[in-house]
Structure 1
């Protein structure tokens, strides 16, 4: 199982000062989440399978970080990829609710919703299908290799003025 996020969506082409293009919601929120998930599972020390954690660079200009990463491993060894993308604000489904890109492409959403059923939580289907977000984040690189790979977000693309419809 792979948990991922991107820490730098534009790559490091800036030649002056800080050359990393950071963003609080896009995507320090996702990077923080994978660090917290890693800490949680490290304390549990009882994982049924190997867990991997990756933070990528250059997501928005072609997914160069995830492309490089995907060439370093056998995709058949990855059960699924949970890519966390912009979870710093409440979703249109409420605070603490997430939506998932490409829910129809695998049974990961169904499995997660079955596991969450007792808690009353739910993973929602991507509310922005016209944006084709499944293809526009780091999950797409591994999905092309046959890995059930999805991005999870709470972003409200239709309300966040910082985000353009092209995100």
Structure 2
């Protein structure tokens, strides 16, 4: 393995927590005891000092069907409302046909605030269930991982692009 920051191979094990099941996952009775486990080890780069995990769980496992919904956190929704108002007020208040793309849009909470300000919105969300929740709430959402291929497939430009809480 190489350091994620400087590509050094001088990585030293700092903490080994063994094999752990994936978090943020509610299991059925039948799944308990049969869930996959993943190594959870922190290594330290001796060259640049970065602490990092030495194993990455596949994105499809991490984000393919996560259970967290942005809309359940009132303070986050309030923050998203402030972000939408600030972006609109500073840059797009008088722009006709204004649009915004939200990458990792979750349940559409951020985009709902942009909709209230007159924006044409589109979310891109990797979790199928979460994307369906957003769509059912009136927020157009594409169920996909955002990458260059997805960006090209959209076939359009946006006035603003948002990505909150994504890696």
TM-score by length of 1: 0.25
**Larger Rg computed on CA atoms:** 2
The structure with the largest strand share of the pair is: 2
